[in-house]
A and B are shown apart, each in its own frame.
Chain A
Amino acid sequence: MRINTAIRYVSGITVLGSALLMGQVQANEDTECIAPAKPGGGYDLTCRLAANALLETGLIDKPMMVSYMPGGIGAVAYNHVIGVRNDDPNLIVAASTGAAVNLALGKFGQYDADEVRWLGALGADYGAIVVNDDAPWQNLDQLMEDLQTQPGEIVFGAGGTVGSQDWMKAALTAKAVDISPRDLRYVAFEGGGESLAALLGDHIQVFTGDMSELRPHLESGTVRVLASLSEERLGGPYADIPTAAEQGYDVQWPIWRGYYMGPDVSDEAYQAWVDKLETLSEEEAFAELRDARGLFPMSRFGDDFDGYVKDQVTQFKQLAEEVGLTQ
């Protein structure tokens, strides 16, 4: 009996083990999306949107692999794709406005925005100014007043280093009331989750996050979103959140969620992906999946998107000079 059990178990392991190995061997044939961050954040969400939607609409047959490459706020993945997987036709990499900021600041090493093939954006997200539910500020005005009188007393925090797009949101908010971003007290956490924990524990007073990552916390009422950094009010569960602009502060921070490919990918492979994403964005099922992730419509593909990103990087370079961040 005992030996039989043993044999059965061991052979089970062998089968599973070899299935695992096969999976690894075949991985080259499968599509892959690299999320240049730890699991659970915005890049993860971006990859999973493509992976799930493409599979669900039948645009790919096999599930797309999502892998994580954290580090250097995306620089590691950027350098990896340019240096190592420069011509992989099955690889797309998640990117966002944050990547454009880092390119503008020269944080991605010797490479700039011209080094990869920008593929397209499937949705956009917007920055948010968030405080704890028991914070004294009911609206952006009250926060801004206090910030003006005692800028050193209010600690901002978010999931990116000084100079990252998360920091930019805080810096622009301060600039709106003529406070130098250099005087701003800002703490860099590892990702939005840790920042949110710090906000709930009153270790920081203001969290400059993104709308989509806040969605799970809107209903529970543990945090208060003072302003959405969008052009106009967002729909659905966000309809009650006023924009910064309507409260009299000109701060906007749209965050596109898109993808790029290696620099030496063939035109055919690039165009095939552009077509795939464009087809996807028109599917009804896709709109549902996008909404479920708290993302708002945005459709820019191929050359249109490529030009958009490069323009944005130029704009951010000017902004960085203005804020005093050029390196």
Chain B
Amino acid sequence: MFDFLIDGFGVALTPLNLGLAFLGAMLGTLFGALPGIGPINGIAILMPLAYTLGLPAESALILLAGIYTGSEYGGRMSSILLNVPGDAGAVMTTLDGYPMAKKGLAGPALGLSAVSSFVGATIAIIGLTLFAPLLARVAVMFGPAEFFALMVFAFASMAVMMGKDPIKTGIGAVLGVMIAMVGVDSGTGVLRYTFGMAELYDGIDFVVMIIGLFAISEILLMLEHANRPSNESDEMPPLGRVMVSLKEVLHCKWTMLRCGLIGFIVGVLPGTGASVAGAVAYTTEKRISDKDGTFGTGNMRGLAAPESANNAAAAGSFVPMLTLGIPGSGTTAVLLGALMLYNITPGPLLFTERPEVAGGLIASLYVGNIMLLALNLPLAGVFARVLTIPRWVLVPAIAILAFIGVYQLHSDLMAIYLMLIIGVFGYLLRKLGFSLAPVILGYVLGGLMEDNLRRALSISGGDTGILWQSGISLGLWIAAAALLILPWLVPKLLPSNSTEKNKQGA
């Protein structure tokens, strides 16, 4: 049954392919670490190169897959060190990663997140090896109605983040949903909130959104503080330990396993990716293990959760691509294009007709994952030194990367202006005490939610019954309701614990 994997390791362990896997891992980490350049751009840049060099199909795929998984590792670096997500999957990593760095724990944070990434990716690759064909059949059972229910569930699980200031969290999420509405309506082609500007037909791009909201607002905050030289709370503490301890890793072991599983499942579904996986994993983990309310202030589990999940999602999105020929994410869509270039037809027959490609890819994911851990763990201390760079060097450097990243994506100055406007908006929100995570989640989930609601209703001809017709969507609705009702109901049923619980919930 696993002949293809044995053959696959034979392919993946040739010197050329090992070298390419290493190169992919290196470049991927770099692409992921640079804000604005994500796996899609990395692959789009290198794909023509791989083709021109005349690499065989499996080698090209190994290189490109290395970049993809590597960038999910790299995305965490700027999240932790600069409070700027390196790519889409790393948004939630900022929530506890950056506070850890501010406590002088940048080294351990980078180390722990590397281990989490490794665990998450390993779970997903094993899942991919064992259950790919089975999971592919389950994944297509998710139609528009089921996706809508999934988004409702995701919004319900966000309620846990309402923490300190529920009204501001709510307003933030609604702002995000509103930003997602801009552009051409995907159902009817009608223009919404575009003010006659062609550049806005496209909607507000994800990269423009996160770079503006996080990076530009961060730069503005740094500039503001630069004029107040003796602001102690703003100074980075000296670097303490650089390595993460085994005890800390073991402390998070269940978090990594749980969130790896969540990330894998979300990744397998076509149409949802690492950003949704990170959000669902973080909010779930906060519910399960945030006993003392320290999530968001540098909790190690809060860091391990999204990192484990986003790497698992990246590997999970290979399932629909390899077994059905349907991309599970934007990046696998580009990879699919690469396969077609080599005249390879992904689908159920891939494993029997081209075992060297399917097996070689899966085997190289195992190899690449180990390489990435070996690459990222010792270097945690080196990268943590970024924090010792003086502000007057760091601020312009981030700004330059942000501008280049956004411009190379759109080749259009309008995107830069938009990024700056969103940046000022993000700065104002932060000054007013808003958290940025609900805004970005509202933006990501809101768009998906609307599209799928409208699709479900056009399937049923306007009958809302379709939304809870299938077992999957019904289960998701019940889970969502439970998330909202239980925290309110449980203290009432168990009056003895209620005072303590209320204190934690506040």
Contact = CB atoms under 8 A, between A and B. Distances in A.
B379 to A, nearest CB: 7
A161 B451 CA distance: 12
Given A9-B382, A39-B333, A80 B199 contact: yes
A67 B411 CA distance: 9
B464 interface: no
A72 B189 CA distance: 7
A17 B27 CA distance: 10
A121 B374 CA distance: 50
What interface size band does chain A fall in?
Answer: 35 or more
A5 B382 CA distance: 9
B411 A216 contact: no
A52 B51 CA distance: 9
B140 A197 contact: yes
Given A40-B327, A189-B455, A75 B40 contact: no
Contacts of A245: none
Interface stretch (A199-207, A263-271, A302-310): A199-207
Contacts of B412: 80, 84
Contacts of B461: 152, 185
B320 interface: yes
B233 interface: no
A72 B411 contact: no
B144 A187 contact: yes
A6 interface: yes
Interface string B455-467: 1001101000000
B49 interface: yes
Given A185-B459, A200-B140, A217-B347, A194 B271 contact: yes
Contact of B144 (A48, A67, A198): A198
Interface string A65-106: 011111111011001100110000000000000000000000
A188 interface: yes
Given A197-B324, A201-B141, A21 B404 contact: yes
Interface string B339-368: 011010111110000000000000000000
A219 interface: yes
Contact of B187 (A188, A196, A200, A219): A188
14 contacts: A5-B382, A6-B382, A16-B30, A39-B333, A75-B184, A80-B412, A109-B198, A155-B459, A188-B187, A197-B271, A197-B326, A198-B140, A201-B140, A219-B345
Interface string A38-62: 1110001100100110010000000
B376 to A, nearest CB: 11
Nearest to A111: B198
B459 A222 contact: no
B1 interface: no
Given A51-B48, A216-B347, A71 B184 contact: yes
Contact of B345 (A40, A162, A188, A215): A215
Contacts, number: 174
A190 B345 CA distance: 21
Question: Considering the complex of A and B, which 10 residue pairs feature the smallest CB-CB distances, nearest first?
Answer: A71-B202, A203-B143, A79-B198, A40-B333, A201-B140, A72-B201, A216-B345, A220-B347, A161-B189, A63-B48
Which of A17, A70, A193, A198 has most chain B Cβ within 10 Å?
A193
Given A20-B45, A66-B44, 14 more contacts: A17-B34, A48-B341, A51-B48, A67-B411, A71-B184, A80-B412, A162-B187, A185-B458, A189-B455, A190-B451, A198-B140, A201-B140, A216-B325, A217-B325
B107 to A, nearest CB: 13
Contacts of B408: 24
B203 interface: yes
A107 interface: yes
A71 B412 CA distance: 15
A164 interface: yes
A144 to B, nearest CB: 20
A292 interface: yes
B160 interface: no
Contacts of B378: 5
A42 B184 CA distance: 20
A201 B40 contact: no
Contacts of B45: 20, 23
Interface in A261-318: 292-293
Which of B45, B49, B143, B191 has most chain A Cβ within 10 Å?
B143
Given A39-B44, A48-B341, A201-B142, A187 B458 contact: yes
A193 B52 contact: no
Interface string B306-326: 000000000000001000111
Contacts of B49: 63
Contacts of A83: 198
A10 B383 CA distance: 9
B451 A193 contact: no
A13 interface: yes
Nearest to B141: A201
B341 A52 contact: yes
Contact of A69 (B141, B202, B330): B202
B176 interface: no
Contacts of B271: 194, 197
A181 interface: no
Nearest to B385: A6
B201 A76 contact: yes
Contacts of A185: 458-459, 461
Contacts of A193: 270, 326-327, 333, 336
Interface string B431-466: 000000000000000000001000100110100000
Which of B183, B337, B340, B382 has most chain A Cβ within 10 Å?
B340
Contacts of A216: 325, 340, 345-347
A118 interface: no
A39 B326 contact: no
Which of A6, A72, A152, A194 has most chain B Cβ within 10 Å?
A72
B231 interface: no
Nearest to B466: A203
Contact of A79 (B201, B327, B330, B336): B201
A71 B187 contact: no
A39 B330 contact: yes
Contacts of B141: 201
Given A193-B326, A197-B326, A76 B198 contact: yes
Contacts of A80: 198-199, 412
A186 interface: yes
A116 B485 CA distance: 58
Contacts of A21: 404
Nearest to A152: B461
Contacts of B27: 16
A17 B201 contact: no
Contact of B333 (A38, A63, A64): A38
Contacts of A254: none
Contacts of B51: 52
B202 A72 contact: yes
Which of B27, B189, B407, B410 has most chain A Cβ within 10 Å?
B189
B188 interface: yes
A13 B30 contact: yes
